[in-house]
Amino acid sequence: MNNGILDAPSVEYSQLSPMLIVFGVAILGVLVEAFMPRGARYRTQMVLALGGALAASVAVAVLCVSYASSDSTGVRAVMGSVAVDGPTLFLQATLLLVAIPSILLVGERRLERTRADSFAPQASAVPGSLAERQATHAGAAQTEVFPLTMFALGGLLLFPASNDLLTMFVALEVFSLPLYLLCSLARRRRLLSQEAAMKYFLLGAYSSAFFLFGTAMLYGYAGTTELDGIGEALGQGSGSTVLAVLGTALAGVGLLFKVGAVPFHSWIPDVYQGAPTPITAFMAAATKIAAFGAMLRLFYVALPALQDDWRPALWAVAIATMLLGSVLAVTQTDIKRMLAYSSITHTGFILTGIIALDAQGLSATLFYLFVYGFSTVAAFAVVTMVRDETGEVGDISRWAGIGRKSPLLASMFALLLLSFAGIPLTSGFIGKFAVFQAAAGSGAVPLVVVGVVSSAIAAVFYVRVIVLMFFADAKVGDDGRLPAVVTPSFATLAAIGFGVVSTVVFGLFPQPLLNLADAALLLR
């Protein structure tokens, strides 16, 4: 303050450039929807979204080079409310790289039927048939999905960078609201899509309220909403910590809802099944990355002094999440619901890395989030390619025989499932090994034992799908037709390729990425 006049807040635009680029592209996308002729919108929106994601990735790379060439450990931007440091840049780079195949999948518009004699000879390409109908849209068809996706991506970039609980809440709402809308945009199974969006919205509103109540209680204890300030107040141990403990519990509920941990997981299967599959892919990968990033910052920066209070609770949540997710996944008959419960199980695995509460746990969690994001997008991209006259084939039993007619697609999906199961020489194995090793090193050996048991249970339903694809006879649907594997355009092929390549490369050569995660360990 100078002569009674408040100083203008400082905004370090260069430090915020990745987020500003994404939000700028989102605003341009809204203007395109408002003023551009309908016929030109798709190409323009696609170029804008991909160009924005790539430009933001370059901005993150420039910031990384800037910090690597200096002694700086990061900065606190916008009056301390945004932290731009190693973990922030690693997670933002991960989100942007995962967003690129997700945008390609969202923009897929031409899934053409394979040759009639290659899989389902009875479904020839006649007017009104699958071949004609599927030449339009594979997922969400409306071009407004692009600016909505970019707004969600901008909020996701801000979420793990938030160094203030109010900023974190704003980021939570910025990415949640577009996702609620995106989940309702499925053209086929419209009622199921709208029901999923409504469930997501109502439960998401409750979780946001919990987070806001927790923020208020932590402010009541520390007198500040900045994570650094809360950590300092707790470190000094002044006064009763009842408010801080209650605030930690309520804020934790809001974040655990976003990652889909038990008992806050009930929305995951319904929303993943009802939303358009490209949106499910983006949401399943990006939301988990951003929410775990925010959780790392909250627990590692603001609440390490309360670890004796929150670590036992996270133990219970992680154990329940791993066991319940893997057991319920075995009982699923729908492929998207099976992947949803698989996602819940992986949430439990990642929580074991957070519970470690040390540098090794942080590094392992960052590595896991990176490789899991690409694999998840690729797995849901494969789901979009198995279709019949009514759209995507969700019934797992009808995936029988796909490996015989489309061995390349089935082999790629099998590789992704084996990675989810944690089979050696895949990135999933390295990720699980890293988080389990970190947990064991911090004394959480029983948690690792539960994780190994859960992995064994999870392997049952992954292997079941693989066996069904390659060794079972194809099953005719109620309409008397076999499901078909459509031929993807470059967009879907690239989305699958990103996931498959990352699964193999980081399974065989994980050390460069592990070293990069280790280099991002300055979270203070």
pLDDT greater than 70 at residue 477: no
Question: SS3 letters for 320-332?
Answer: HHHHHHHHHHHCC
Q: Which residue is it, tokens 């370059």?
A: 58
Q: Which of 383, 370, 348, 345 is nearest to 505 (CA)?
A: 370
Average pLDDT (11-15) is 81
Instruction: Quickly state the pLDDT bin for 400 (edges 50, 70, 90).
Output: confident
d(CA 4, CA 155): 35
Instruction: Quickly state the pLDDT bin for 116 (edges 50, 70, 90).
Output: very low
Average pLDDT (27-35) is 92
Average pLDDT (124-143) is 43
Q: Which of 66, 54, 53 is nearest to 14 (CA)?
A: 66
Q: What is the pLDDT of residues 187-216, one digit of tens each?
A: 677 788 888 889 999 999 999 999 999 999
- pLDDT of amino acid 132: 38
- pLDDT of amino acid 2: 52
d(CA 401, CA 388): 14
Q: Radius of gyration (Cα) for the chain, nearest Å? A: 23
Q: Which residue has the higher pLDDT, 410 or 128?
A: 410
Instruction: Quickly state the pLDDT bin for 138 (edges 50, 70, 90).
Output: very low
Q: What is the pLDDT of residues 464-473, one digit of tens each?
A: 999 988 887 7
Mean residue pLDDT across the chain: 85
Break the chain down into helix, strand, coil percent, rounded to 5: 70, 5, 25
- pLDDT of amino acid 482: 64
pLDDT greater than 50 at residue 32: yes
Average pLDDT (287-292) is 94
Average pLDDT (35-50) is 89
Domain boundaries, the chain: 17-123+142-518
pLDDT greater than 50 at residue 123: no
d(CA 130, CA 132): 5
User: How large a percentage of the chain has pLDDT more than 90?
Assistant: 55
- pLDDT of amino acid 478: 57
pLDDT greater than 90 at residue 54: yes
Least reliable range by pLDDT among 275-289, 383-397, 430-444, 492-506: 383-397
Instruction: Quickly state the pLDDT bin for 122 (edges 50, 70, 90).
Output: very low
Q: What is the pLDDT of residues 73-83, one digit of tens each?
A: 678 888 888 98
Instruction: Quickly state the pLDDT bin for 72 (edges 50, 70, 90).
Output: low
Phi-psi region of 406 (alpha: psi -120 to 50; beta: other; left: phi over 0): beta
pLDDT greater than 60 at residue 142: yes
- pLDDT of amino acid 6: 54
The DSSP result for 120-189, as a single string, is: -TTS---TTSHHHHTTT-SS---TTHHHHHHHHHHHHHHTTTB-BHHHHHHHHHHHHHHHHHHTT--SSS
pTM of the predicted model as reported, rounded to 2 decimal places: 0.89
| 225 φ, ψ (degrees, to nearest 5) | -105, 0
| 450 φ, ψ (degrees, to nearest 5) | -65, -40
Q: Which residue has the higher pLDDT, 191 or 243?
A: 243
Q: Which residue has the higher pLDDT, 332 or 125?
A: 332
Least reliable range by pLDDT among 124-138, 201-215, 487-501: 124-138
- pLDDT of amino acid 328: 92
- pLDDT of amino acid 500: 94
Contacts (Cβ under 8 Å, ≥6 apart) of 413: 379, 382, 465, 469
Average pLDDT (424-437) is 92
Contacts (Cβ under 8 Å, ≥6 apart) of 207: 253, 254, 257, 258, 264
d(CA 356, CA 84): 23
- CB-count burial class (<10 Å; 0-12, 13-18, 19+) for 404: middle
Instruction: Give the strand pairing for 386-388 and 82-84.
Output: unpaired
Average pLDDT (129-138) is 39
Q: What is the pLDDT of residues 302-355, one digit of tens each?
A: 899 898 889 999 999 999 999 999 999 998 888 999 999 999 999 999 999 999
- pLDDT of amino acid 487: 67
pLDDT greater than 80 at residue 91: yes
Instruction: Quickly state the pLDDT bin for 523 (edges 50, 70, 90).
Output: very low
